[in-house]
Chains A and B, each alone.
Chain A
Amino acid sequence: MYRYDEFDHDYVRARVSEFRDQTQRRIDGALTEDEYKPLRLQNGLYLQLHAYMLRVAVPYGTLNSRQMRTLAMIAERWDEGYGHFTTRQNIQYNWTKLTDVGDILDALADVEMHAIQTSGNCIRNVTADHFAGAAADEIEDPRPTAELVRQWSTAHPEFAFLPRKFKIAVTGSPNDRAVTKAHDIGLRMLRNDAGEPGYEVIVGGGLGRTPMIGKVIRDFLPKDDLLPYLEAILRVYNLHGRRDNKYKARIKILVHETGIDDMRAQVEAEFDRQMREEGGPLVAPDPVQVAKITAYFAPPAFEVLPDASTTLETAMANDAALAAWVGNNTSEHRTPGYAIVTVAIKGTGEAPGDATTAQMRVLADMGEKYSHDELRISHEQNVVLPHVRKDDLPAVFSALRKAGLATANAGLITDIIACPGLDYCALATARSIPVAQDLSRRFAAPERAKAIGNFTIKISGCINACGHHHVGHVGILGLEKSGIENYQITLGGDHTETMAVGERAGPGISAEEVGPAIERLVDAYLDTRADENERFIDTYRRIGAEPFKEALYAA
């Protein structure tokens, strides 16, 4: 894992005291509310419906046990005993008091964490595949790239006042778990025909009120050119992105209105200018620096083990619940004898992504004891133990079960993404969490959920789409119609490398109708699928939307 160097330490500490000073100048009146607001946002502090919300960065979703324990301590001491893991691999505290923020930021700095650039019109926390460094299908670990991008983008003097927020995601695997095509910039690591490492650069993806699938702006960018190329994209965006309408200010609109070919020409011209600069581009990465970063992400000392574990197999034979959990919540590790564990932070009837102080401490213990002191936050609002010996899975399952963290639903219909919605968010037009809770109860029976198989439901409480509803197999968008919550259903979305934006099924329905409608839709799918290996999305692609629309509106 990455460890702060002296520059990180100095900077994070200085930034806390700078923010205390900025807050004081706001109180004195030297800064107007308008001038203070972006400074507050760029330090992670939002004003929500009921209180301030502090969003803490978990760079590319990777953290150690000590950091997880500090997150638990903050929840206990300064919040109401829980935190909320987000689709951007961060954690949010929904009940922050303004007077506590400085102390919270100091506590985070103690464990090499911060809330910098988790909000505001700047380059946000960089995200990456939550299975990085562990997945069997990985070409290369994306985290050294993500860390390089984090270092480059932190307090970048040119890009702190962009037209709008800017999100970068990196994947090192052809199976895209980082939703790269729905980001302002998505980076896919690959090798060219000569075997040299580089990136496919995708630009202009995004969800929100105008969902767009990112377009390839460079099909192969040599690894060394990454930072100058990112600077070129950002400079073109900063100069030409729309500032007249915040809803049209993201780079996806610029790419759409300019056209990808013209956009590419502008970016390449900007890139060439930098490459021609005297002494080379200012942000050319130094090989020594890159090697240092890469070394931090060296694989832990795995044991040489047989791939199959008799301990595990015996335990599974005697415990159906364990077998179901292992079958569903573990993924293939690149090292024989190891598994990747997905811990569901969405038990039956719970708010997706909410973890209590006690649960965070159990997760920290599991990470420390069984996963080489590493944990990940996934964009699906789950927590991942990336490096667990198969021999240890029964013990991990048992401890998680005691903490209410052993729901065997990773990738299943109850593995729902939901935004905080009207329960917390000032922008929301409808509630998300109660809808998620209702669906999770309806499909709680493990056999049924397993029979349905891979099925993603994603719920947003307004058109800003923080719950990724556009790319759910089934998307649910909460709106408000004459003072009443109204939910639009979309079908056929896909968040992976075969990304698709879901299509609206028809008129919106009431909150109470959502659950029964989804049940009818699922029954229709089970009746029509070719066989049990055909996922809902495959059936949808094969037979189209009509049968599912009929089922949804059959009542």
Chain B
Amino acid sequence: MPLITDTGFAPDDAITLTPLDALPEAGEGVALDLPLDADTEAVAAYFNRLDLIVIPFPNFGDGRGFSLAKRLRSLGYRGRLRATGHLIPDQYAFARFCGFDEVQITDEQAERQPENQWTSATRALPPFLRRRVSGWV
């Protein structure tokens, strides 16, 4: 289950995840396993106790995780954000722009889509954001 960041593959950190219902009793430095239908406003109250939020992608065609990430960032979450499950290299940039820091895929998928396919996939900003970043917008 390699972790993928901008520099390439890294080994699985095998971090222990806390389920959402255990969040109120969990201490500091929590790695939260966030379901796709979670009430994000309720989670926001615990942001300062979270080191990591993990959002599942049950299927690469299910784009809910992108919007969930954007909403968490919009609510002020500044910690690490991980997408886990089925994403393809062509979605890596999308995940990053939506606020994810890293992507985790299965070993089977990593074999079929090795590191070079992830590092060579486009990283270019979509044109609308490029205009903005360049100061043109």
Task: List A residues at the B interface (Cβ < 8 Å).
Answer: 5, 7-8, 10-11, 14, 18, 22, 25, 29-31, 34-35, 38-39, 121, 151-152, 154-162, 234-235, 238-239, 243, 270, 273-274, 277, 282-283, 285-286, 288-289
Contact = CB atoms under 8 A, between A and B. Distances in A.
A222 B19 CA distance: 42
B97 A157 contact: yes
Interface string B126-137: 111111101011
Given A30-B113, A235-B70, A273-B71, A160 B137 contact: no
A10 B130 CA distance: 11
* Prevailing SS type, chain B contact patch: helix
A289 B60 contact: no
B80 interface: no
Given A31-B88, A158-B67, A162-B63, A286 B113 contact: no
Contacts of B132: 282, 286
B20 interface: no
B17 interface: no
A23 B137 CA distance: 33
A391 to B, nearest CB: 42
B128 A243 contact: no
B61 A239 contact: no
A309 to B, nearest CB: 44
A162 B132 CA distance: 24
B47 interface: no
B128 A273 contact: no
26 contacts: A11-B124, A14-B124, A22-B90, A29-B112, A31-B88, A151-B128, A152-B128, A157-B93, A157-B126, A158-B67, A158-B97, A159-B63, A160-B91, A161-B63, A162-B63, A235-B70, A238-B63, A238-B66, A243-B64, A273-B74, A273-B75, A274-B74, A282-B129, A282-B132, A286-B137, A289-B137
Contact of A235 (B71, B75, B117, B124): B71
A283 B133 CA distance: 12
A369 to B, nearest CB: 33
B53 to A, nearest CB: 16
Contacts of B113: 30-31
Contacts of B131: 5, 7, 151, 289
A282 B68 CA distance: 16
A162 B61 CA distance: 8
Interface in B82-120: 88, 90-91, 93-95, 97-98, 112-113, 117
Contacts of B128: 151-152, 154-156, 283
Contacts of B88: 31, 35
Nearest to A241: B64
B48 interface: no
A61 to B, nearest CB: 21
A243 B62 CA distance: 8
B67 A155 contact: no
B127 A155 contact: yes
Contacts of A283: 128
A162 B60 CA distance: 11
A25 B66 contact: no
B97 to A, nearest CB: 4
A158 B70 contact: yes
A268 B132 CA distance: 25
Interface in B48-69: 60-64, 66-68
Contacts of B95: 157
Q: Which 9 A-B pairs have the closest CB atoms?
A: A161-B63, A157-B94, A157-B97, A155-B126, A238-B67, A7-B127, A286-B137, A11-B127, A289-B137
A10 B122 CA distance: 13
Nearest to B75: A273
A39 B90 contact: yes
A8 B60 CA distance: 27
A247 to B, nearest CB: 16
Nearest to A18: B122
Contacts of A39: 90
A30 B112 contact: yes
Given A10-B124, A154-B128, A282-B129, 11 more contacts: A7-B134, A14-B122, A18-B90, A30-B113, A152-B128, A157-B98, A158-B94, A235-B67, A270-B71, A285-B137, A289-B131
A29 B117 CA distance: 12
B127 A151 contact: yes
Contacts of A274: 74
A390 B88 CA distance: 56
Contacts of A243: 62, 64
A335 to B, nearest CB: 32
Given A35-B88, A277-B74, A160 B63 contact: yes
A161 B66 contact: yes
Nearest to B114: A30
